[in-house]
Every structure is written in C-alpha cells, then in structure tokens.
Structure 1
Amino acid sequence: MKVALLGYGKMGKTIEKIAIERGHEIIIKTNDEAGYDISKADVAIDFSVPEAAFFNIIKCFKHGVPVVSGTTGWLENREKAEALCKEENGAFIYASNFSLGVNIFFELNKQLAKMMSKLDAYKVAMEEVHHAQKLDSPSGTAITLAETIIAEHDNYTDWNLVSEKENTIPITAKRIDDVSGTHTVAYTSKTDTITLEHEAHSREGFALGAIIAAEWLKDKKGVFTMKDVLNIG
C-alpha cells in the first residue's frame, strides 16, 4: 500500500516506522499543505495541524484518495468534509484517537454512562494528562468521552474545563513531560467511586490504529468511524 503522510511530526514518524514494518511504502511525508502530489497514493493519513487538515482532506477527496485523519482542532469543518466526501464518492475516517484500546474504552464509557444515567447520587468528572507539547486542551479524546456521556446521560448537557457547574461535566487537563496520554472518567457518590481509565504507554498504539484504519479503508467508499473498523458498538 502506497501511503501519504500529511503531517510529519512525532506521530507521523511513528506511523512511518510501523507502516514500513507492516510492508507499506511511504511515498509522501510532508508538513507542506500545498506542495505535494497526492494522486499516486493508495491512502493518506493526516496528522497535520488544524490550519492544514481541512485543506489536506479535501485535496484527497478531489483526487480519489481515501483519507484517515487524526488531527484535532478543525472540527467546525467536519460536516462540510463528510458532505464533500459523499459528493465526491470518496472515503474518510476521522477519529479523535485511533488507539485500538481507546476505541474499546470509548464503548465502555458509553455503556457506563447509560448505566449511571438514572443514579443521581453519582456525579461524573474527567481528567486527562498529556505531554507538555500537546497544543489542544482538553484533548480531542476527552471531548469525545464527554460528548458521549452527554448523549447517554440524562443529567448532563455540557462540559467545562475544571469548573463545576450544574449539568456540566468538569474536565481537568494536565500537561506533564513524557506522558503519552491518560484519560480518567470517575463517577463519585458519598459512599464510593467508580473509575474508568485508559493509560497509553507510547505513541505506537495510536500509530498502529491509524495504519489499521488506513488498511481497512483502502478500496472503500463512504464516511466511517473506528467502530466500523473494529466492528464494535
């Protein structure tokens, strides 16, 4: 499989390493949103920056190249991207986190939120910890977790960084050197606490998931999620 890496930072380099180990060829690796020819790629993997992500994704659709995107911070244009994907008969997967373990964690979070929805004694709070170089706060993964709880739980309508407000999920975001990513969802009552947690040990889990998604997406048409890739939920 000929792979274009759109975004060649730490994550892009980790994806490159694992893709080559899995027998794929990297034909593009770039941080330049304009100066590359995407047409020869079998699939593109976008881990760029918010300012470039939408441009990269649209360029892939225009050239008939399936694209997997893990860039956060551009999601105000996600609906436009998905609509254009369908219009161009393209193929697209966006995920806030491609880790196979995190996507199982997402499903567990959804099921737990359903179970806790009627138990008013429990209040939910979240914490996410990442490396100091991470630009967005809270993480896209934390936002996905919070939005899932809001969709499944009767008592919550929004999330907020740190501060506790009525009907709002408080999220604490910490930035510490050399932390790959830890996400914790805790339901606390006067008598006990139920905690759901995922801790990443390295970037390799995220990179492997993105490559598996790209392998799955090749030769398909449509808008998909990691649930489709993993056949869960």
Structure 2
Amino acid sequence: MKIALLGYGKMGKTIEKIAIERGHTIVLKVDKDDTNYDVSQADVAIDFSIPAAAVNNITNCFNANVPVVSGTTGWLDHYEAMVSLCKDKKGGFIYASNYSLGVNLFFEINKKLAKMMSPVEGYDVSMEEIHHTEKLDAPSGTAITLAEGIIENTNKNNWKLDNGNLDTIRITAKRIDKVPGTHTVTYSSKVDDIEIKHTAHNRSGFALGAVIAAEWLKGKSGVFSMKDVLGL
C-alpha cells in the first residue's frame, strides 16, 4: 500500500517506521509548513499534522480522491464541514482522537462504567489527562472523547477545563515532559473512589492503530470511526 504522511513530526516518523515494517511504501512526506503537494499518488493518507494544517490536508485528500485517516486534534470546529465534503466527493474518512487499540477499548469501558454509575447516588465524576509539553491543545482530544462518552450515559451535559459542578465534568490537563499520554476517569463519593486509567508507554500504540486504520480504509468510501475498524 502506498501511504502519504501528512505531518512528519515524531508521530509521523513513528508511523513511517511501523508502516514500512508492515510492508507498505511511504510515497509522500509533508511537513507542517508545506501546502503545495500532490497526494494523488497515494492509496491512502495519514494526517498527524497540526490544527492549523489539518483542514487543508483533509480537503486536499478528498479533492484527490485519496481516503484519509486523521489523528490531528484541535480542529474539530470544522469536522462537520469535512464530513460534508467527504460525502460530496464520495471520499473515505476516519477521524479518531486516539488510534491506540487499547484506548479505543478504554473508550468502551468508560461508556459502560458511566451507564452503570448513572443511577447510583453520591458519586461525582472528574477526569485528568497528562501529556508531553509539546502537545498544542488542552484538554486532549482523547479526554474530550471520554467526556462525551460520559455525557451520553449520565446527567452530565458538558465538560470544562479545571472547573466542574453537578452538571459539568471537570477535566484537569497537565503537561509534563516526555509523557506520551495518561487518562484517568474518577468517580468520587464520601466513602470511596472508583477509577479507571489508561497509560500509554510510548507512541507506537497510536502509530500502529493509525496504520491498521489506513489498511482497513483503503478502497472504501464513507465516514468511519475506530469502532468500525475494530468491529466494536
């Protein structure tokens, strides 16, 4: 499979290594400041760029009839516009806030726990996420996805960074050097705490999941998620 890498930072380089190990060829590498490039030679594109470049990258893929897997966060104000463009162009699109296979299982555990906790009185839910100091957005896209899973299954109706109340999930975001990503969801009461946690040890899990998603998306049209890729 011929892959275009849109974004060639640390994640892009890790994706390149794993893709080559799995027998694929990297035909294009686009750095964060590159805007003039031809993606049409690729079978599929993987976008791990920056928020300011993501919409342009995804648009270029749809216009070139190249399916795209996007893992860039911080641009989701434009998500519905990209979904609409994908459908207009009959393109293929997967967006995920996190491609780690373990995190996507964690998302489902989070929803299940939220549903179980919803009728139980006396517990409040909060969240903490920790990432490396180079991460540009806060809270992380993964934390937002976790919060949305809780909102779907409880009486919480929103999330706020560093603040919360009876209707709102408090998310604390910390930036610590060389931390790939840790997410903790805590239900606290006066008598005990219930906690679920996912800790990434390195970037390889995110990169592997993105390559697996690209393998799955090749030749398909439509808007999909990692739940489709994993059959969850």
| Range class of TM-score, shorter chain | over 0.9
Asked if residue 47 in structure 1 is aligned to residue 45 in structure 2, the reply is no
Aligned equivalents of 2:39, 2:86: Cα separation in 1: 16
- Structure 2 length-normalised TM: 0.98
State the match for 1:10 in structure 2. Answer: 10
Equivalent position of 1:66 in the other structure: 67
Q: Say if 2:45 and 2:61, in contact at 8 Å, map to a contact too.
A: yes
What letter matches 1:183 in structure 2?
H
**Correspondence 1:122-201 to 2 at 5 A:** 122-154=123-155, 156-201=156-201
Are the aligned partners of 2:45 and 2:67 in contact in 1 as well (CA < 8 Å)? yes
Under a length normalisation based on structure 1, what TM-score does the superposition of the two structures give? 0.97
CA distance in 1, matches of 2:8, 2:63: 22
Q: Tell me, yes or no, if the aligned pair for 2:124 and 2:166 is still in contact at 8 Å.
A: no
Identity %: 66
Structure 1 unaligned residues grouped into runs of 5+: none
- How far the C-alpha of 1:33 sits from its partner, in A, is 4.1
Q: Name the count of aligned residue pairs.
A: 231
Worse overlay, 160-169 or 69-78? 160-169
- Cα deviation, 1:93-137, whole Å, max 9, x if unaligned, reads 000000000000000001111111111211101000111111111
Q: CA deviation at 1:164?
A: 2.8
Q: Could you list the runs of 4 or more consecutive aligned residues of structure 1 that deviate by over 4 angstroms after TM superposition?
A: none
1:88, distance to aligned residue in structure 2 (A): 0.7
CA displacement 1:12-37 (0-9 Å, x = unmatched)? 00000100000100011111442211
Q: 2:146 aligns to what SS in structure 1?
A: helix
Residue deviations 1:45-98 (CA, integer Å, cap 9, x gap): 000111111111111111110000000111111001111111111000000000
- The answer on whether the counterparts of 1:6 and 1:46 sit within 8 Å (CA) in structure 2 is yes
Paired residue type of 2:43:
D
Q: CA RMSD in A?
A: 0.9
